[in-house]
Amino acid sequence: METAEIRRRFLDHFEANGHTVVPSAPLISPDPSLLFTVAGMVPFIPYLTGQQPAPWPRATSVQKCIRTQDIEEVGKTTRHGTFFQMNGNFSFGDYFKEGAIAHAWELVTGSQDDGGYGFDPGAIWVTVYQEDDEAADLWRKIAGLPDERIQRRGRKDNYWHTGQAGPGGPCSEIYVDRGPQYGPDGGPVVDEDRFLEIWNLVFMEYELTDVKSKEDFTIVGELPSKNIDTGMGMERVSYLLQDVDNMYEIDQVYPVIAHASELSDKRYGADHGDDVRMRVVADHVRSSLMLIGDGVTPSNEGRGYVLRRLLRRSVRAMRLLGVQDRVLPELLPVSRGCMQAAYPELESDFDRISSVAYAEEDAFRKTLQTGTQIFDLAVGETRATQRSVLPGETAFKLHDTYGFPIDLTLEMASEQGLTVDEGEFRRLMEEQRERAKADARAKKAGSSATAAYRELRETGPTPFTGYTELETESRVRGLIRDGESVPGAGEGEIVEVVLDRTPFYAESGGQDSDAGRIRGDGFELEVLDVQRPMKGLIVHRVRVRDGEVASGRTVHAAVDQEWRIGACQAHSGTHVVHAALREVLGPQALQSGSYNKPGYLRLDFSWGQALGAATRSEVEEVANLAIRRDYPVSAAYMPLEKAREIGALALFGETYDEEVRVVEMNGEWSRELCGGTHVQHSSQVGLVTLTGESSVGAGSRRVEAFVGIEGFRHLATERALVTQLADLLKVQPEQLPDRVERLVTQVRDAERELAKTRAAALGSRAGELAGSARDVAGIGFVGFAAPVGSAADDLRTLALDVRGRFGADRPAVVAVAGTSDAGRPSVVVAVNEAGRDRGLKAGDLVKVAAQTLGGGGGGKDDVAQGGGSDPEAVDAALAKVEQAVGETATRGS
């Protein structure tokens, strides 16, 4: 069962049981104490603790997670991974232990035909907290588990908390017995390799304090409500259901290993050291793909540093495998192919993701080339002096000059049997930071603005008159071209003009600059842009449309009235949408950025998940109701402290003067620090039509909207489109959804009939194929490339049918069928009993084919299935299997 299918079944199961499906929050944690989302419950902490009312009584999600504390262990064991997915279901004061256990048992042991995972009930063991008699009784009642498969454990194993004061409670863990080949009998308390945990059900009901360790804490009381928080490890369930040995061999990971093996010409499974490097590559490439997808970019701090480290460890591991060429352009697309079924946004955003990753590899390749030489020299000098500690000065030079992260230097030194003087390295780094701060202060006070701007500013600030008027009599204070003051400019030239007062709004606070004209005696200027290159100075970028302009000339500055009306509508509309988001989603939906111009606005805000259609509709309705209610819009200047006291919202990261301008709509409904231009009443905004909602990085969303007449035009365009479709399909507009649904159903039915026809045609060839078998070292071998578009299930049926048509005269049979469907190749291998007696195993043979296809596969000894990413390699894969059959049969004889 593919991982994407495991994901789908989990969400479908809980949605059918009344849970709201909540999209995964971004990998960037909204919790400032965490770099990343490290567990499935992190986005739900405010609801589980009662800090905020939950939007739903019960929810389910598949949460993307990153844990970085075990980076050095990745690949060395088959348990440690950086990126993983946590399936969870949550109850916020709704059902409790009985519901959690019943839901879990139904999914885990339910038949695969009915949407379950199909685990053998006889292979399921559970653990409960040693004092939790209720949970033990429920496992007996609901699942019928005998006492010997319900094991009790203490706080260390079966009591959950966050590691700090907050919510907690006993938990019950579900284990699967993998069989005696994986370890001794006796349940999880004896061996957790054989008995593998797949799901933890946390019964969160207590408030904890004085948390010193996993076992040392104090229970101070009950939570306001009893909550359920569960976590099922997606990767663990995947490798159990895919019948592979570990998480690195599942369908979302192994194809990267297979491709790394092909690039390096190193066989996976032949050498432990090489296997470790390939697993590092597979894990880190996937983790990097997901991090960049959520907006993380490589840097030397925080999340960016973790990403940089993952990418560089991937590249270096491939170099240690002998691959000197660029590797991420080879490996990253393979990982995308593995993950996009579950995360389709990776496909649409891959250009951005890949450009970030490839640029980092290119930079690191240059770093490695020069830095490694320095490192090798330093190692030689250290050993020549009989020392075992690499100087901190060398580590600092590698970091400062060649971009070597200290972790890479530590790793490389460890591989050479050396350590690094980290104390000296840290001291030199701190000295560098202090120098950088001093330089920044000097630059800020010195040459941050050009001399021309500075000279003009020294004559005084530029008063902005545009709050009360659109036309102003003024004087040209100066002209600048290419950073230099000039006395004048003629027709066709583009220059910067500074006036002694202006009604033109300079771009700031998300609002685009005004448009308009500046006229004087014998000349006219078109205003192209207006900026504040330094505090207090407003600069107009203009094109001289007619005549000649010179410094000192008197002018009439006039803002385009229609432009300003549209700008005011858009900026006030931005405030309206911000207030509507906070009303619908809560105060945490705080603006983090915006841009608006006549007819259009976009607003970025803090939020960890996509807004559903119903939520977007509600936000739009709240915004337009505020417009219809004709709220008064006012602006007032006041001290910053007073603005904070009355709750005026400020844009995070912005700096403000002690005297600020506060814009209000209906008092506290919308109260923000803002220097922009606005309408006088909310009704003047006209109309807000939301047109899009998207992610702009982890923990941040973006809404876009048309405003005023542009909003009307957008709706008119949509109405025309609906009318066109209705005319085309000859139905009334309100009948369109039903009509389109019927058409889609008809197409699907036709596709199913076509598939049946293909299957029948394929099945009719079984006898012909059996008759064309070739003798390969005494084995009857049939290799068949089915027509493109053949379903994988049909391949399986065909291979089994061919295998079954051989008589007693050739008892040992291997049947292989391969095809490509929608660009995804697949292969099925079937081996009869006599063939298995000769040492031939379908699971081994299908892996041979899958590696050639650029993928993975597995199954039982009699029949196995695999796939890959290279549809052109089907014939080569069949040939590889034939070769492997001959080699195995020859060895066996």
Give the three-state DSSP class for 388.
coil
Number of domains in the chain: 5
Same domain, 158 and 58: yes
Residue in 489, 487, 571, 497 with CA at minimum distance from that of residue 533: 497
Output the CA–CA distances (angstroms, integers) from residue 218 to 156, 169, 172, 179, 630, in the order listed. 14, 11, 20, 39, 54
Residue in 64, 71, 17 with CA at minimum distance from that of residue 43: 64
Q: Which CATH number fits the domain that encloses residue 209? A: 3.30.930.10
User: Token pair of 375, please?
Assistant: 């490192």
Contact 741, 716 (CB under 8 A): no
pLDDT band per the 50, 70, 90 thresholds, residue 653: very low
757 within some domain:
no
Q: So what's the pLDDT on residue 52?
A: 64
Considering all CA atoms of the chain, what is the largest pairwise distance in Å, rounded to the nearest integer? 108
Same domain, 87 and 154: yes
Report the pLDDT averaged over residues 758-783.
78
Give the three-state DSSP class for 789.
coil
Q: So what's the pLDDT on residue 617?
A: 94
Share of the chain above pLDDT 90, in %: 49
Residue-wise pLDDT for 67-91, tens only, equals: 887 677 787 776 678 999 999 999 9
- CA-based angle 345:347:349, to the nearest 5? 65
Q: So what's the pLDDT on residue 294?
A: 84
pLDDT band per the 50, 70, 90 thresholds, residue 10: very high
Q: So what's the pLDDT on residue 446?
A: 35
pLDDT band per the 50, 70, 90 thresholds, residue 133: very high
Same domain, 651 and 703: yes
pLDDT band per the 50, 70, 90 thresholds, residue 32: low
Whole-number Å distance between alpha carbons of 696 and 699: 8
Q: Which CATH number fits the domain that encloses residue 693? A: 3.30.980.10
Whole-number Å distance between alpha carbons of 95 and 230: 13
Output the CA–CA distances (angstroms, integers) from residue 638 to 649, 676, 679, in the order listed. 14, 16, 20
The neighbouring-strand residues paired with 84 are 65
Q: So what's the pLDDT on residue 588?
A: 72
718 within some domain:
no
- How far apart are the two ends of the chain, measured CA to CA in Å? 35
Q: So what's the pLDDT on residue 156?
A: 92
Lowest mean pLDDT among 561-565, 693-697, 736-740, 830-834: 693-697
Q: So what's the pLDDT on residue 752?
A: 82
Domain stop point among 507, 523, 555: 555
Q: So what's the pLDDT on residue 179?
A: 92
444 within some domain:
no
Residue-wise pLDDT for 92-128, tens only, equals: 999 999 999 999 999 999 999 999 999 999 999 999 9
Q: So what's the pLDDT on residue 547?
A: 94
Q: Where are the alpha helices (DSSP H) in 110-224?
A: 133-138, 155-158
Contact 83, 66 (CB under 8 A): yes
The neighbouring-strand residues paired with 785 are 818
Q: So what's the pLDDT on residue 799?
A: 83
pLDDT band per the 50, 70, 90 thresholds, residue 7: very high
Q: So what's the pLDDT on residue 662?
A: 95
568 within some domain:
yes
Report the pLDDT averaged over residues 201-222.
90
Residues 6+ apart with CB under 8 A from 201: 97, 100, 101, 104, 171, 172, 173, 174, 228, 230
Contact 848, 268 (CB under 8 A): no
243 within some domain:
no
**pLDDT, greater one: 811 or 218:** 218
Whole-number Å distance between alpha carbons of 349 and 697: 12
Same domain, 155 and 95: yes
The neighbouring-strand residues paired with 702 are 604, 694
- Residue 501 is classified by DSSP as S
Same domain, 46 and 194: yes
By CB atoms closer than 10 A (0-12, 13-18, 19+), residue 704 is: middle
Residue-wise pLDDT for 317-343, tens only, equals: 998 898 989 999 999 999 999 999 999
- Strand pairing category for 58-66 and 20-21: parallel
Whole-number Å distance between alpha carbons of 166 and 51: 11
Q: So what's the pLDDT on residue 448?
A: 35
Lowest mean pLDDT among 200-204, 393-397, 565-569: 393-397
pLDDT at 644 over 90: no
Whole-number Å distance between alpha carbons of 675 and 670: 15
Same domain, 199 and 226: yes
Give the three-state DSSP class for 109.
helix
Same domain, 537 and 568: no
- Cα radius of gyration (the chain): 33
Count of other CB atoms within 10 angstroms of residue 35? 18
Q: So what's the pLDDT on residue 113?
A: 94
pLDDT band per the 50, 70, 90 thresholds, residue 589: confident
- Residue 632 is classified by DSSP as B
670 within some domain:
yes
Same domain, 618 and 684: yes
pLDDT band per the 50, 70, 90 thresholds, residue 893: low
Share of the chain above pLDDT 70, in %: 92
Residues 6+ apart with CB under 8 A from 571: 509, 510, 511, 596, 601, 674, 676, 677, 678
Q: So what's the pLDDT on residue 33?
A: 60
Same domain, 214 and 285: no
pLDDT at 440 over 50: no
Q: So what's the pLDDT on residue 445?
A: 37
Same domain, 49 and 126: yes
162 within some domain:
yes
Domain stop point among 555, 578, 612: 555
pLDDT at 593 over 70: yes
Lowest mean pLDDT among 532-536, 682-686, 821-825: 821-825
Rounded mean pLDDT of the chain? 87
Q: So what's the pLDDT on residue 601?
A: 95
pLDDT band per the 50, 70, 90 thresholds, residue 442: very low
The pTM assigned to this predicted structure is: 0.50
Same domain, 302 and 335: yes
Output the CA–CA distances (angstroms, integers) from residue 369 to 66, 392, 407, in the order listed. 30, 21, 17
- 674 marked ligand binding residue: yes
Report the pLDDT averaged over residues 372-401.
83
Lowest mean pLDDT among 57-66, 523-532, 708-717, 871-880: 871-880
Same domain, 549 and 658: no
User: Which residue segment(s) compose the domain that 649 sits in?
Assistant: 564-708
Contact 36, 303 (CB under 8 A): yes
Report the pLDDT averaged over residues 738-753.
89
By CB atoms closer than 10 A (0-12, 13-18, 19+), residue 137 is: middle
Q: So what's the pLDDT on residue 429?
A: 81
Q: What is the 3-state secondary structure (H, E, C) of 818-847?
A: EEEECCEEEEEEEECHHHHHCCCCHHHHHH
- 575 marked ligand binding residue: yes
499 within some domain:
yes
- Residue 142 is classified by DSSP as I
Q: So what's the pLDDT on residue 608?
A: 64
Domain stop point among 663, 688, 708: 708
By CB atoms closer than 10 A (0-12, 13-18, 19+), residue 657 is: exposed
Report the pLDDT averaged over residues 173-180.
95
Report the pLDDT averaged over residues 131-135.
95
By CB atoms closer than 10 A (0-12, 13-18, 19+), residue 364 is: buried
Whole-number Å distance between alpha carbons of 472 and 466: 9
By CB atoms closer than 10 A (0-12, 13-18, 19+), residue 518 is: buried
Q: 426: alpha, beta or left, given left = phi > 0 and alpha = psi -120 to 50?
A: alpha
pLDDT band per the 50, 70, 90 thresholds, residue 39: confident
pLDDT at 447 over 60: no
Residue in 80, 190, 40 with CA at minimum distance from that of residue 125: 190
